[in-house]
């Protein structure tokens, strides 16, 4: 398992050459051996492209395409996302789910700080929902979900994308994106998909998906350029054809919007999401 390949983290002091040369800030990097980092690069290129698309059309959706530099066969350098903790690390120091953790970190529900953090979680969750629908990243356990210090979600580790998943495609992660029960508690306090924040989330997902569809050919071309690379994500099935199908080019905008609404409701408390988290906890001790 990839988790058994122990990486090394080193923190550098980096000088800002564009500004004040006295401005030195720490930058941590992970040196990894035994994984083909080119697949992460591919996923992050698509995520970077989506971020640019969202910005170009004026959508307030958050994505963080961190840096990855392959340095040889099955080795590379990975930027550590600053000011973040994984969900599993949060569980080591705090009891309760995200709803309770956000109250502990940002204040009571309804306070400006809590609602700002909830909004940050919402816009980042929607951004990664669109990216996840297209890229189909798997192995979305709580060690691969980061939260920054203002409440934004960041996905890391794209060792399984498109047609591949851990365990020989056993379909444990059948939802198009991860939306666990504790996530829905933040996004939908009503618990029945009636909250203002839930409707905001779905609306942003729909707008992000429709924006991505307009740039479908560019996104597909970005992935297609790596088709002959020998990456695992191209080793089975029809990854390019299935990626195109997820854009549903045959649909009108109204039909595509309804499709994305269905994707969101399908992901809501999908039982396989909780099941996969439980398997990870039992196998590797990764907190649910």
Find, among 72, 83, 88, the residue nearest to 32 by Cα: 72
Q: Which of 5-14, 159-168, 255-264 has the highest mean pLDDT?
A: 255-264
Q: Provide the domain limits for residue 226.
A: 82-284
Instruction: Provide the pLDDT for residue 275.
Output: 43
Evaluate whether residue 181 is within a structural domain. Answer: yes
pLDDT, one tens digit per residue, over 204-253 is 999 999 999 999 999 999 999 999 888 888 988 899 999 999 999 999 99
Residue 179 pLDDT exceeds 50: yes
Q: Which residue has the higher pLDDT, 210 or 33?
A: 210
Report the percentage of the chain scoring pLDDT > 90.
58
Evaluate whether residue 53 is within a structural domain. Answer: no
Instruction: Provide the pLDDT for residue 82.
Output: 93
Q: Which two tokens stand for residue 171?
A: 């379909």
Evaluate whether residue 195 is within a structural domain. Answer: yes
Residue 36 pLDDT exceeds 50: yes
Evaluate whether residue 38 is within a structural domain. Answer: no
Residue 2 pLDDT exceeds 60: no
Q: Among 19-33, 162-176, 204-218, name the one with the lowest average pLDDT.
A: 162-176
Evaluate whether residue 254 is within a structural domain. Answer: yes
Q: Considering its fold, how many domains does the chain have in total? A: 1
DSSP at 2: G
Q: What is the mean pLDDT of residues 75-94?
A: 89
pTM score, two decimals?
A: 0.87
Q: pLDDT band at residue 277, thresholds of 50, 70 and 90?
A: very low
pLDDT, one tens digit per residue, over 89-136 is 887 777 788 999 999 999 999 999 999 999 999 999 999 999 999 999
Q: What is the DSSP string of 160-177?
A: S-TT--HHHH--S--SSS
Q: Which helix (H) or strand (E) holds 276?
A: helix 271-284
Evaluate whether residue 11 is within a structural domain. Answer: no
Q: What is the mean pLDDT of residues 32-60?
A: 94
Evaluate whether residue 197 is within a structural domain. Answer: yes
Q: What is the DSSP string of 224-273?
A: HTTTTS--GGGSSS-HHHHHHHHH-TTS-HHHHHHHHHHHHHHHTT-HHH
Instruction: Provide the pLDDT for residue 172.
Output: 52
**CATH classification of the domain holding 210:** 1.10.1070.11
Evaluate whether residue 76 is within a structural domain. Answer: no
Q: What is the mean pLDDT of residues 163-174?
A: 63
């Amino acid at each position: 398992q990839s988790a058994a390949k122990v990486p090394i983290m080193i923190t550098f002091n980096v000088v800002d050459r564009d500004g004040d040369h006295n401005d030195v800030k720490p930058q941590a990097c992970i040196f990894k051996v035994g994984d083909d980092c080119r697949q992460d690069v591919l996923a992050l290129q698509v995520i970077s492209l989506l971020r640019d698309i969202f910005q170009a059309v004026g959508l307030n959706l958050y994505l963080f395409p961190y840096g990855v530099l392959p340095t040889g066969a099955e080795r590379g350098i990975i930027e550590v996302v600053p000011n973040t903790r994984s969900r599993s690390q949060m569980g080591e120091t705090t009891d309760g789910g995200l709803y309770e953790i956000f109250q502990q970190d940002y204040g009571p529900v309804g306070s400006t700080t809590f609602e700002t953090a909830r909004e940050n979680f919402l816009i980042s969750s929607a951004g990664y929902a669109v990216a996840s629908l297209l890229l189909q990243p798997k192995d979305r356990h709580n060690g691969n979900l980061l939260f920054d210090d203002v409440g934004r979600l960041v996905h890391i580790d794209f060792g399984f994308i498109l047609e591949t998943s851990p365990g020989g495609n056993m379909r444990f992660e059948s939802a198009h994106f991860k939306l666990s029960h504790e996530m829905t508690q933040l996004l939908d306090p009503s618990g029945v998909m009636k909250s203002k924040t839930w409707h905001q989330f779905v609306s942003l997902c729909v707008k992000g998906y429709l924006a991505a569809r307009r740039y479908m050919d560019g996104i597909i071309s970005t992935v297609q350029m790596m088709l002959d690379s020998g990456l695992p994500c191209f080793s089975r099935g029809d990854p390019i054809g299935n990626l195109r199908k997820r854009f549903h080019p045959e649909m009108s905008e109204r039909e595509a919007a309804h499709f994305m609404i269905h994707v969101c409701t399908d992901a809501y408390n999908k039982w396989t999401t909780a099941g996969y988290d439980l398997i990870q906890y039992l196998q590797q001790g990764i907190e649910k």
